[in-house]
Amino acid sequence: MAAATTASPATAPPSSFPSTTRPILRLSRKFKLPAASLSPDPSPAFQSVTAFAPATVANLGPGFDFLGCAVADASLSLGDTVTATLDPSLPPGTVAISAVTSPSRPHLAARLSRDPLRNCAGIAAAAALRALGVRSHAVSLALAKGLPLGSGLGSSAASAAAAAKAVDALFGSLLSPHDLVLAGLESEKAVSGFHADNIAPAIQGGFVLVRSYDPFTLVQLPCPPALRLCFVLVTPDFEAPTAKMRAALPKKIDIGHHVRNSSQAAALVAAVLQGDAAGIGSAMSSDGIVEPTRAPLIPGMVAVKAAALEAGALGCTISGAGPTAVAVIEGEENGEEIARRMVDAFWSAGKLKATATIAQLDRAGARVISTSRLLE
């Protein structure tokens, strides 16, 4: 397979390749290939690579649209997994989706498109291929969804991150984390809006600040290893469409609210860098702009937050655009009790069933979990 690379007609137009029955995402002719593509068409390093990317909690209260962190549980059920495999049956430079599974939610797999143009993993994989400058190989993707859709846990970002990471590793891990985030951002832009506060931590792990989009600048916020930061994630059986939650946002805000939220967001960043769990929690709880408009749209959310804080959580807010509620704790000791109280509150105040997961800060981000050697 590797030997075939040099023989492939890298300059031939995509239309000269045979069509397949599966939808295929081609390289856009308008896409301006980045510098990497000027180097030789990279050779594959593996026959297939499986990568995992974690769930992410975006916004974190006052960090609306610019702060997020990655979270994972011990069993890696809180994230998506993508296997990228070299597929000589496809036209070179293309991506296809061979399988979508969702072991814990069989109904979910059927809702996800196999069209790589409409699938987060497909779009990100194609963007990664372009960034790598791969012209002589094609990749098929098998996506295993561990995350529910529309839950506020960065489901689309996890698929995109795992796909970009798997494709990059397939060709020898040539891309920087920043490049991988850009590949994932192509997907986010198409699927859930131009924001990087899920995809950046899904790729890079830990806490990430999206400092600006022009130029696109990320700031990794390392928190001290000794900090035992945990998250109680409680997801009610309620689909909160991101578009609707966005529409609820105020278009204009008072400058006083701006100052109060900004100072809390700045305090959140300081608390992360200084390893101050209580500071992280209280800052996360302090959003006076977005949470007050969104929480009433999620039945029971206000009561759930109150229950979490009463039970000893250091802070609580809506994860991303919801409906998941996220509470911060230090260590897992009280996690189960807090989770129980939050689940109870969703039921008693919102008439919603909910499931809880206790997760830790995921410091690694998207990572390769298995590889298969190149076929000789």
Stretch 58-87 residues interacting with a second copy (CB under 8 A): 62-67
The nearest distance, CB 218 to a second copy, in angstroms, is 10
In this structure, the dihedral spanned by the alpha carbons of residues 178, 179, 181 and 187, taken in order and rounded to 10 degrees, is: 160
The contact mask relative to a second copy for 218-237 (x = CB under 8 A, - = no) is -x-x----------------
Q: Does 253 sit near a second copy (CB under 8 A)?
A: yes
* Total of chain residues touching a second copy, rule CB under 8 A: 40
- Partners of residue 328 on adjacent β-strands: 231, 315
The interface region with a second copy, picked from 135-143, 152-160, 208-216, 323-331 by CB under 8 A, is 208-216
**Site for a second copy contains 117 (CB under 8 A):** no
CB of 172 to a second copy, least distance (A): 31
Give the separation between CA 312 and CA 315, rounded to whole angstroms.
9
Amino acid at 133: G
Instruction: Indicate the residue among 319 and 357 with the shorter CB distance to a second copy.
Output: 319
The yes or no reply on residue 259 touching a second copy (CB under 8 A) is yes
CA dihedral sign, ordered 144, 148, 154, 156: positive
Q: Cα separation of 209 and 216, whole Å?
A: 11
Within residues 279-308, the interface with a second copy by CB under 8 A covers: 279, 283, 286, 289
151: which 2 tokens?
Answer: 């839950």
The answer to whether the beta carbons of residues 131 and 175 sit under 8 Å apart is yes
Residue 202 · residue 160 · CB < 8 Å: yes
Instruction: Give the total residue count for the chain.
Output: 376
Smallest CA-to-CA distance from 54 within 41, 71, 40 is with 71
Does 247 bind a second copy (CB under 8 A)? Our answer is no
Among 164, 210, 303, 329, binds a second copy (CB under 8 A): 210
> Would you tell me how many other CB atoms lie within 10 Å of the CB of residue 35?
8
Specify the stretch interacting with a second copy by CB under 8 A; choose among 167-175, 216-224, 295-303, 353-361.
216-224
- Region near a second copy per CB under 8 A, out of 154-162, 184-192, 257-265, 339-347: 257-265
**Strand partners of residue 198:** none
Binding residues for a second copy, rule: CB under 8 A, are 62-67, 209-212, 217, 219, 221, 249-255, 258-271, 273-274, 279, 283, 286, 289
